[in-house]
Chains A and B, each alone.
Chain A
Amino acid sequence: MSTRLQTGGRLIDRNQRLSFTFNGTPMTGFAGDTLAAALLGNDQMLMGRSFKYHRPRGVVAAGPEEPNALVGLGQGPRFEPNQRATTTELFDGLSAISQNHWPSLNFDIGAVNNHLSKFFPAGFYYKTFMYPRAAWKHLFEPIVRHSAGLGKVTQPGDPDRYEHFYAFYDVVVIGGGVAGLQAALAAGHAGAKVLVMEQSAHWGGRAPVDGVEIDGKPAEDWVSATLQALEDMENVTLRSRLMGAGVYDHGYLLAYERVSDHRPGTAGPRHRLWRIRAGRIITATGAIERPLSFAGNDLPGVMLASAVRDYVVNWAISPGDRTVIVTNNDDAYRTALALQMAGLIVAAVIDARPTATGALPQAVRDAGIRVETGRGIAKVKGRARVEGVALCAQAGEGAVLEEIPCDVVAMSGGWSPVVHLWSHCGGKLTWDAAQAHFRPDPDRAPADQDGAPFVIAAGAANGHLQAADTLRDAAAAGQNAAVALGRDPADGTAARANAVAEEPLLPVWIMPQGAGPDLRSKMWLDYQNDVKVSDVQLAAREGYESVEHTKRYTTLGMATDQGKLSNINGLAVLSDALGSDIPQVGTTTFRPPYTPISMAAIAGEARGDTFLPLRRTPMQDWHDANGADFEPVGHWQRPYTFRRGGEDRAAAVKREITNTRTNVGLLDASTLGKLVVKGPDAGKFLDMMYTNMMSTLKPGRCRYGLMCDENGFLIDDGVVARLDDDTFLCHTTTGGADRIHAHMEDWLQCEWWDWQVYVANLTEQYAQIAVVGPKARALLENLGGMDVSAEALPFMGWADGTLAGHPVRIYRISFSGELSYEIAVPAGQGRALWDTLLAVGTQFGIMPYGTEALHVMRAEKGFIMIGDETDGTIIPQDLGLDWAISKKKDDYLGKRGQARSHMTDPDRWKLVGLETLDGGVLPDGAYAVAPGSNANGQRKTQGRVTSTYYSPTLGRGIAMGLVHKGPDRMGEELEFARTDGTMMRARIVDPVFYDKDGEKQNV
């Protein structure tokens, strides 16, 4: 059984006892524990179930590489699935549940899969579940989905806060082990602005656990002293609980800070996402120990040798009473010594190498521990927990020589540098045959915007596994990073480490070497996803030879640990099966993040009300307070209608229209784009921008204009007013303001840069209010200040003046067909003028109206709407707007495009009005059918509805549409198909339904 030792534990504080629950069972631990350590301290080795076979799983590692010990953490809206127990700091009141089992962790029905595992080899689902056809969706897929999926579903209403943090550093050091600290020291001494980050709560990494001495002191002392030295440097920042998550182009680094995961509910954000620009990034991310592939290596109790050492030294945990160590290298012997020092029994060290004569094996032998060389494990005995191992010759096929009882197996297959961050942005790897691992190839580092290498690997992450080499390499890395950024070289000498020399490892990918199919089908590579040696061999046999094929076919390395433990072992098995070298097979691609990061941290502050910027007009408060139903238009919220009493939306719209057509209506038109175009060449420029001739417009007058792109398609429309010889004010649609401004700048700066024109976007500088209706003039006259008579301010004219004391510019333009004044006023006075108009307008029956009334009134008048009549494929000629296309101009944007054969095709659909025979409203977007079908069996069509409304003015449905040769077919009837297949008949009519002669607007 696993238990807490009476003494020791460098990271725990025995004076602070913490309570927590696991699957509802109350347990206790100490401050400084990880959840995994605390669970082991309570003899809870079984922590989860695997993905595919639902096999019992215990903790195997002590860090972020842990594939098994995943738990659901917290409750209610704070519940979070798939949290690694090994990186979860224990806190008082923590509540954890195990995952992926039913009904319970100890008894899981899903484990039936385990007994059927012979029938579920890699990729079995590609070969079956095909009949009957509907069964995949209705039977097999639901079974697969419910059996997979790991953690429980989260709940809505996350109460926590998340934030983003922007930072700029010369040098960022990722990893707070001795390499990272040494690199930071060197870079800091050279004067660079440095950030050092450590993913855990503790600095120093493995060195203190491994008994390394630095500069004659225990590593722990050196770490403390160095931390103090770094803290004293103004140019160095230290942050723990901050993980390097992803390296992106041009020195962009994403880091993930778990600010309050260890004290949930306290003030401040839960996670903070650091968005860093770094001149150089030093990856001092250490190395991860590899498991060994022997039968039964997934049983609870089989752990990495380094993890066993960590649990004993850091947290005073005995993972078990009797440990067998199995290794192919010297490092694992440290675990034997650590266990023995803690008073625990090491039954044997089984070393696959023919001999083990280094200092560490010798020390172990001297300590009286049995060492067996040239041996391997044939099989681990036990069902839900290790009970013993069967010893065999590594060189053989697994004939059992002896059974050794034990309850822990500590395994070590050598170490692989953590190369993820090096690789994210294109850093390449080289195979180090001596150490049997991939390490960064310094000649093929990720390159920054200048083509210079910007990631430098240091220490164990660079393949330097011995402490002395680690420190030398790290000091050089820190020094080089600073010098590359133009800093003066400073004291770059490395601290000196004393560690026992180690002898070379022997690559061991399968144990024993000649294991047959029966054993190979019990050797796990990927614990979480249940991928075994036999699965990789099967993939290779079936032709899934690329490492990407094998990964995808077997799911090797696709679990939440992203193959941190399984990748190299899997690759080696694959290359062996293919008979090729490991470097030829290569690795799969490393992708961010290093370990999973919360979605909420990625979103940061952008949620709820701050999800997107909100644009408000000067009158928005009034709209809020007066029953506006809003609709989003870009980042604006425009009133759709203003409901009164118990009105529904349709009734409110109808009232607004009727009132505007009989009395006077008020529209907040502030969102319309207002671009000032100024300069000696402004007229010439606008002649290119618009299809119309704008250079001939007289000052004081307005003209409706159309804008096309170079393809000839209509992209915007609006009224242009000429303010003086050199100055025009161009109105754009609400959505078009920024887009058209950019469009103008584009042409001015990139094509006609010698033309003397400036463009300024004044959209937000002015509030704009449309006063619309037969009583509009009377209302403005009542306000006083300027002459708004037909003579002084005729239709399509504009004038500056003062209205009710406000400086205004009034445009006599109409989008409703009524007498209409659009009044522009400095934004700061918009609300005051709005209020005055409403107050004075009461006697005239004034009512504000929203966008829907605006749309209906323009449709009654046959005016087109960008986005309704146009959709990016419509040219002005389609809409009968030929009158607005100058025939005199040699050129305008879109002119050449409109001359192409498809654009001049007489068969194009053209704008008409549509009048239903029964007075009903045509469905939005309905198509007019034509006889027959096309070559693809689709019903032929001859037109479609572009806008359709109930017109309160006419008391019937009206519509506009595009119809094949429409204008030549006035009076013809068409059939429009509803989605249910029924038809609605409509007659082709003139698109102007209301006041065809324009008498109302021109009074």
Chain B
Amino acid sequence: MKRYSAFAIAREAARNHIGWGRAWAKRPPKKRYDVIIVGAGGHGLATAYYLGRNFGITNVAILEKGWLGGGNTGRNTTIIRSNYLQDPSAAIYEKARSLYETMSQDLNYNVMFSPRGLMMLAQTEHEVRGYERTAHANALQGVETEFISARRVKELCPIINIDGPRYPVLGALWQARGGTARHDAVAWGYARACSDMGMDILQQCEVTGVRQADGKVTGVDTTLGEIGCDKLGIVVAGHSGVLAGMAGFRLPIESVALQALVSEPIKPCMDVVVMANTVHGYMSQSDKGEMVIGGSADGYNNYTQRGSFHHLEHTVSALIETFPIMSRLKMLRQWGGIVDMTGDRSPILSATPLGNCFINCGWGTGGFKAIPGSGWGFAELMAKGQSPLCDAFGLNRFTEGRFVDESVAAGVAH
């Protein structure tokens, strides 16, 4: 693999950049792999990467029915934070956040992690108490957050109107090392690193069946033929139900549309990420200058990657109240993604009834920020059969009633 650097660019500039090779190799599938990961989104690629890096397992194929990073990895609002309330969530999201800090250097691919700071506005007394609780929990979890005053909110983000007539800002939960990253680059960077370790990324390769014998997976049928494996990891987000169906088990998952939009680009005016859960909206400014905005999920099962307009309407009106400068900006583009929601809105990183088959899904609206932590933990689970980061996110929690419920602290997501 050619190392990326300013020097490499300068060298290539001299010959019109004709010397750059493929970021990831294109190879036909082998007959058999030690591990097959289904799904070349951020979570699947990160899992493969840490299987190789942490456990030396490199005879790995990552199967993707479309193009890598083409699902929710490339459709989200790129927010990274770990200010979660419950211990298991804080652990995996903080692991992820800390891995984002060094990801560009680890992968030799600039994912533009920008720890610009993230605030969740408290706009009711109830929210103040909720975020104070989270701040206390975070202090013991090793997650650096603090509850800040409305005045500090205004200093950090001058375009906020803290005196809104209906929901004045009473303070905020502030995570100084939260921020954003370039979503596509995360998938591309992992893909390049996986390929460099000799793993095969098979795009346009759809799984059509899961082969089993004696209660174990032996391989998968795909549009590129049958491929054998010793272990199977299913990391396909909204399509988890379909894959689980092929493997013969059911999941506590429903797929719904979540929408986002961007404004036209303007010069820098907002240096932090702001989430306002009372009014269901959140916003940051991309490096290109677009205001990136997300809202709440639709209330019905949906696989169309289109949502209903009235959700955007509510999000936009709330953001104009919170950020009055938004009024005369224009919406450039809106889109939808399909998110997989579990019964307690927390993810599933779990063994399955099939001994050598593992599933990673249910990230709902919070998947992007978790990618490296999810990959780290899930790789450990697949390699060793157990991982502290994944322990609380097993499928058995739905039998036992042992939920990891984050709605306690934040009704909405992002």
Q: Are A and B genuine complex partners? A: yes
Does residue A888 face the partner (Cβ distance < 8 Å to B)? no
The answer, among B142, B265, B316, for a CB contact under 8 Å with A560, is B265
Among candidates B137, B306, B324, B334, residue contacting A249 with C-beta atoms closer than 8 Å: B306
Q: Which of B10, B128, B135 contacts A119 (CB 8 A)?
A: B10
Cβ–Cβ < 8 Å partners of A661 in chain B: none
CB distance from A954 to the nearest CB of B (A): 21
Known: A552-B74, A553-B184, A599-B326. A938 touches B306 (CB 8 A): no
Question: Most B CB atoms within 10 A — which of A596, A631, A977?
Answer: A596
CA distance in complex: A363, B170 (Å): 74
In the complex the two chains form, is B23's CB within 8 Å of A136's CB? no
Choice from B126, B289, B389 contacting A149 with Cβ under 8 Å: B289
The verdict on A591 contacting chain B, using a C-beta distance below 8 Å, is: yes
Residues of B close to A145: CB separation below 8 A: 268, 285, 287, 289
Identify the stretch in B208-216, B239-247, B363-371, B399-407 within 8 Å (CB) of chain A at 4 or more residues: B399-407
Chain B nearest CB, measured from A979 CB (Å): 5
Q: Report if B56 contacts A (CB, 8 A).
A: no
**Is the pair A592, B402 in contact by a Cβ cutoff of 8 Å?**
no
Task: Say whether B26 faces chain A, with CB atoms less than 8 Å apart.
Answer: yes
Is A254 within 8 A of B309, CB to CB? yes
**CB of B130 to closest CB in A, whole Å:** 8
The proximity string for A residues 536-551 relative to B, scoring 1 for CB distances below 8 Å and 0 otherwise, is 0010011111101100
A843 within 8 A of partner (CB)? no
- Given A127-B5, A632-B124 in contact, is the A871-B184 Cβ separation under 8 Å? no
A583 within 8 A of B: no
Q: State which of B9, B114, B203 has its C-beta within 8 Å of the C-beta of A141.
A: B114
Structural contact, B329 and A598, CB atoms closer than 8 A:
yes
Contact A82 B134 (CB under 8 A): no
B104-139 Cβ-contact flags toward A at 8 Å (1 or 0): 110011101111100000011110111011111101
Question: Bound complex: CA of A77 vs CA of B324, how far in Å?
Answer: 10
Q: Restricting to B284-328, which residues have a CB under 8 Å from any CB of A? A: 285, 287-289, 304, 306, 308-309, 312-314, 316-321, 324-328
Q: Which of A127, A146, A599, A611 contacts B329 (CB 8 A)?
A: A599
Q: Which residues of B contact A607 (CB under 8 A)?
A: 317, 320-321, 327
Q: Are A137 and B16 in contact (CB under 8 A)?
A: no
Stretch from A297-305, A369-377, A739-747, A896-904 forming part of the interface with B: A896-904
Q: How far is the CA of A981 from the CA of B164 in the complex (A)?
A: 34
Q: How far is the CB of B368 from chain A (nearest CB, A)?
A: 15
Q: Are A897 and B133 in contact (CB under 8 A)?
A: no
A155 CA / B289 CA spacing, docked (Å): 16
Tell yes or no: B149 within 8 A of A by CB: no
Please give me the residue from chain A that is nearest to B315 by CB atom: A602
Q: How many whole Å from B77's CB to the nearest CB in chain A? A: 15
- In the complex with contacts A121-B17, A153-B325, A872-B405 CB distance below 8 A: yes
Asked whether any CB of chain B lies closer than 8 Å to the CB of A390, the reply is no
Chain A residue numbers with a CB within 8 Å of B397 are: 902
Determine if A543 and B16 form an interchain contact, defined as CB atoms under 8 angstroms apart: no
Q: Does A246 contact B (CB under 8 A)?
A: yes
Tell me the bound Cα distance from A80 to B327 in angstroms: 10
Determine how close the nearest CB of chain B comes to the CB of A569; give it in whole angstroms.
Answer: 20
Q: For A934, what are the chain B residues with a Cβ–Cβ distance below 8 Å?
A: 87, 388
A941 touches B140 (CB 8 A): yes
Most chain A Cβ neighbours within 10 Å, of B21, B128, B317: B317
Q: Which of A141, A538, A938 contacts B87 (CB 8 A)?
A: A938
Per-residue A-contact encoding for B164-177, CB less than 8 Å = 1, 0 else: 11110000000000
Q: Is B266 an interface residue (CB 8 A)?
A: yes
Residues 260-274 of chain B: 1 if any A CB is under 8 Å from the residue's CB, otherwise 0? 000111111100000
Interface residue? B8 (CB, 8 A): yes
A18 to B123, CA, bound (A): 48
- Tell me whether B267 and A923 are in contact (CB under 8 A): no
- A252 contacts the other chain (Cβ, under 8 Å)? yes
The answer to whether A560 and B332 touch (CB under 8 A), given A248-B306, A924-B129, is yes
Bits for A125-165, please: 1 = Cβ < 8 Å to B, else 0.
11111110100110001101110111111111110000000
A925 touches B405 (CB 8 A): no
* Residue pair A543, B23 in contact (C-beta under 8 Å): yes
Nearest CB in chain A to that of B269: its residue = A153
Question: For the complex, is B190 an interface residue (Cβ under 8 Å from A)?
Answer: no
Q: How far is the CB of A825 from chain B (nearest CB, A)?
A: 28
Q: Is A603 an interface residue (CB 8 A)?
A: yes
A19 interface residue per 8 A CB criterion: no
- Chain A residue numbers with a CB within 8 Å of B269 are 153
In the complex, A609 has a CB within 8 A of chain B: yes
A35 to chain B, nearest CB (A): 16
State the CA gap A673–B133 with chains docked (Å): 28
Alpha-carbon distance between A153 and B329 when the two chains are bound, in angstroms: 9
Q: How near does chain B come to A131, taking the closest CB pair, in angstroms? A: 7
| A211 CB within 8 Å of chain B | no
B101, B102, B265, B325: most-surrounded residue (chain A CB, <10 A): B265
Return the CB mask of B383-407 against A: 1 if under 8 Å, else 0. Answer: 0000011010000010111110101
Total number of B residues with any Cβ neighbor in A under 8 Å = 121
A598, B6: Cβ atoms under 8 Å?
no
Query: Which residues of the partner chain B approach A77 to less than 8 Å between Cβ atoms?
Result: 328
> When the two chains form their complex, are residues A154 and B139 in contact, meaning their CB atoms are under 8 A apart?
no
User: Among residues 9 to 33 in chain B, which have CB atoms less than 8 Å away from a CB atom of chain A?
Assistant: 9-10, 12-13, 16-18, 20-26
- A101 CA to B166 CA in the complex, in Å? 39
Query: How long is the Cα–Cα vector from A541 to B105 in the complex, in angstroms?
Result: 24
A149-B267 contact in complex given A125-B112, A939-B141, C-beta closer than 8 Å? yes
The minimal Cβ–Cβ distance linking B308 to chain A, given in whole angstroms, is: 7
Cβ-defined contact, B115 with A137, below 8 A = yes
C-alpha gap A611/B315 in the complex (Å): 11
Judge if B379 is at the interface, Cβ distance under 8 Å.
no
Residues of A within 8 A of B20 (CB): 538, 541-542
Contact across chains for B166 and A935 when beta carbons are under 8 A apart: no
B330 within 8 A of A: yes
A560 contacts B140, C-beta separation under 8 Å: no
The reply on A781 being an interface residue by CB < 8 A is: no
Interface code A251-270, partner B: CB below 8 Å = 1, 0 otherwise?
01010000000000000000
CB pair B306 A425 closer than 8 Å:
yes
B313 and A82 contact, CB distance less than 8 A: no
Q: Which residues of B contact A560 (CB under 8 A)?
A: 264-265, 332
A246 and B405 contacting across the interface, CB-CB below 8 Å: no
Question: B67–A548 contact, CB under 8 A?
Answer: yes
Contact A602 B331 (CB under 8 A): yes
Question: Which B residues lie within 8 Å of A121 (CB)?
Answer: 9, 12-13, 17
Residues 604-618 of A at the B interface (beta carbon under 8 Å): 604, 606-609, 611-612, 614
Judge whether B114 and A871 touch: CB under 8 Å. Answer: no
Give the distance to chain B from A604, nearest Cβ to Cβ, in Å.
7
Determine the distance from Cα of A939 to Cα of B141 in the docked complex, in whole angstroms.
6
- Distance A467 CA – B24 CA, assembled complex (angstroms): 49
Listed by A's residue number, 30 A-B pairs whose Cβ atoms lie within 8 Å are: A77-B328, A82-B266, A118-B13, A121-B17, A133-B105, A149-B265, A151-B265, A155-B325, A158-B328, A517-B18, A541-B20, A542-B23, A546-B203, A553-B188, A560-B332, A592-B333, A599-B327, A600-B327, A602-B312, A609-B165, A632-B278, A711-B403, A901-B400, A924-B132, A925-B133, A925-B135, A927-B140, A934-B87, A939-B142, A979-B146
Extra inter-chain contacts (20) besides given A592-B334, A925-B136, CB under 8 Å: A121-B12, A129-B110, A154-B325, A248-B308, A275-B309, A424-B306, A425-B306, A426-B304, A544-B23, A546-B66, A552-B74, A599-B327, A603-B317, A604-B313, A611-B321, A711-B401, A712-B401, A926-B136, A935-B391, A979-B135
Top 9 closest pairs, chain A to chain B, by CB: A925-B133, A149-B289, A156-B324, A596-B330, A603-B317, A935-B388, A127-B4, A546-B67, A158-B327
Q: Using CB atoms and an 8 Å cutoff, list the residues of chain B in contact with chain A.
A: 4-6, 8-10, 12-13, 16-18, 20-26, 66-67, 69-70, 74, 87-88, 90-91, 95, 101-102, 104-105, 108-110, 112-116, 123-126, 128-130, 132-137, 139-142, 146-147, 159, 161, 164-167, 179, 182, 184-185, 188-189, 203, 263-269, 278, 285, 287-289, 304, 306, 308-309, 312-314, 316-321, 324-335, 388-389, 391, 397, 399-403, 405, 407-408
